[in-house]
Structure formats: structure tokens, C-alpha cells
Amino acid sequence: MNLQLQVPSGGEPVRLCKCLTVNERAIANAEYVIEGEVVPNVRVQEDQNSHTGYAMPEFPGYTGPASDQCWMIKSNSCNTQKEPDHADLYRTE
């Protein structure tokens, strides 16, 4: 099994590391790695918190209708670099 990804622009292999809570691999120098598992047979409404009828409007260029068939993902852990670049993200307990 090839455990390397190729970067289209440079062709250098991307370094991978083992995840801490799931049997998968993640990009080793990622600022954040969120590990989790899909909850079987459970779907959620995409706009369940905003009730706007639109999906993820914070992503540029996409304001399509919200789906009622989004997979529910149970997060196991959120891992970061020692000093991640995105200091504007919020952590909740």
C-alpha cells in the first residue's frame, strides 16, 4: 500500500503520520487534525443551528440549499501543531 500523497505542483511526497484515536493516517505537518468516526445510519440537517435553509454560507461561492442527509461525525480528538497558524479558531469544552 502506498502511504504517500503527491503534491501536484511540486511532486514531493507529503509526510503522513498515524492518527491517535482511529486507525488512519493524517498529513504530518497539518496545523489541525480532527479525528472522528461516522455514526452509522444517522443523518443530520446541515443548517440545524442556523435554520436558514442554506448550506455553509461561510464558504465562498456556495450558498446552495441545506441538505438533510449530512453524515453525523463523532469527533474523538482535535490535535494541533505546538503553535498553529489559525489562532482565530475557538475551542469549546
Catalytic residue set:
58
φ/ψ (deg, to 5) at 66: -70, 140
Residue count (the chain): 93
Other CB atoms within a 10 A radius of the CB of residue 46 amount to 19
